[in-house]
Every structure is written in structure tokens, then in C-alpha cells.
Structure 1
């Protein structure tokens, strides 16, 4: 009788495992039953990441290193910056030629366009506008 008892115990101990396995759908079945999930929108880069990318991409395209960023804003299409660049180094340094570039980037921080909007000597300030501004 001990053999019969051992056989019954081993069978009963296997039944829950089999029923557990059959009640749980495997991963393929689960993936097929669930509707396809939409891909999450790419995460928008942080402002500092955008600044670094803009400076690096502009330098690569123009061959001139950005010295500073004088304007920076987020737009509906991405980002808009104004970047100051040393165009021609002279002695004394106050006579060096600087330029302001308007730089546009898409939402992921990739440069989509740039243009020079102003060229000036480093030592010169902006001309005063009428009305004190």
C-alpha cells in the first residue's frame, strides 16, 4: 500500500503544477492578445543638452567655436538660440570680429538651420536706439 500511496501523492503534487501551467498563458499568447502599444514619444532633451548640442553642431558646420549663447528659447517646433562666435581674432583682442548666429533646432535638439544676423568688433557695444533703449 505504500507504493499506491506514494503514487497518489506524486500524482496529486503534479496536478497543481500542471493546472498552474495551463492556466497561465505563455508570453507569446499574452503578447498576441494585447493590442499593440503605441511607442512613447521621444523624451525632449533638457535645455543644457540642447545648448551643448547646438554649440557642437554649429562649430562642426562653421569651423568656429561658440563663445556664448545670448538668447535661448523653446518654440513650438523645437528651440531657437542666438550664439556669439569669434569670427576673426585680432590684436588687441578688443578689435577681434565677433558674429551673432541665429540657430534653430528641432524638438530632439538636432540643428535644422542657422544664419549670421550680426557682425561686430568685440570692443564695441550696440548702438543706442532712439528713446534710450
Structure 2
């Protein structure tokens, strides 16, 4: 049974945090295509003082309709 998009987003955030050991900051996209759900999450790569120097990265997780993680990759990085 297919899960709703909110549940898939939470699953993607949990899996990315667990696998990368990074803190999820915000969800920036959720798109479904023939491969599955592409969930983009901004993750805190490096905490800095001041906060404006934090390094954030966009990770994309690919999930099937049941919420199983099929793969993930870092797409980009930036400072806050």
C-alpha cells in the first residue's frame, strides 16, 4: 500500500540522518517519477560560529512507494 507524501518525507529524513550522521535542517522538495519518490533534504554538514558560516548540503533520497530507501546522494553544498 502506497504511503502518503508526508510519511515518505519523514522516512527520508530519518534514513538520511541515520546513514550520514547529519542533522536534517529542512525538506526542500518531493517529486514522484517512474523510479520512485525523490525527496530533497537540506542537511547540516558543519555547525559553525557564527551560524552564517554553517555548511549545508542538499541530499536527495530515492524511496519506493512503500517508503523503502533505494539510494541517496549529495547534490550540492553551500554556506548558510
Q: Do they fold alike, i.e. is TM over 0.5?
A: yes
The structure in which a higher percent of residues are strand is 2
Q: Which has the larger radius of gyration?
A: 1
SS in 1 for 2:16: helix
TM-score (norm 1): 0.58
Aligned to 1:15: none
Q: Distance in 2 between matches of 1:65 and 1:50?
A: 17
State the shift of 1:77 in Å.
2.8
SS in 2 for 1:53: helix
Segments of structure 1 that go 5 or more residues without pairing to the other structure are: 1-42, 123-133
Partner deviation per Cα, 1:7-62 (whole Å, 9 max, x = no partner): xxxxxxxxxxxxxxxxxxxxxxxxxxxxxxxxxxxx10011110110100111101
1:70–1:82 Cα contact (<8 Å) kept: yes
Q: Whose relative contact order is higher, 1 or 2, with alpha carbons under 8 Å and at least 6 apart?
A: 2
SS in 2 for 1:108: coil
SS in 2 for 1:91: coil
Q: CA RMSD in A?
A: 0.9
SS in 2 for 1:51: helix
Name the count of aligned residue pairs: 80
Q: Distance in 2 between matches of 1:56 and 1:119?
A: 20
TM-score (norm 2): 0.93
Segments of 4+ moved more than 4 angstroms: none
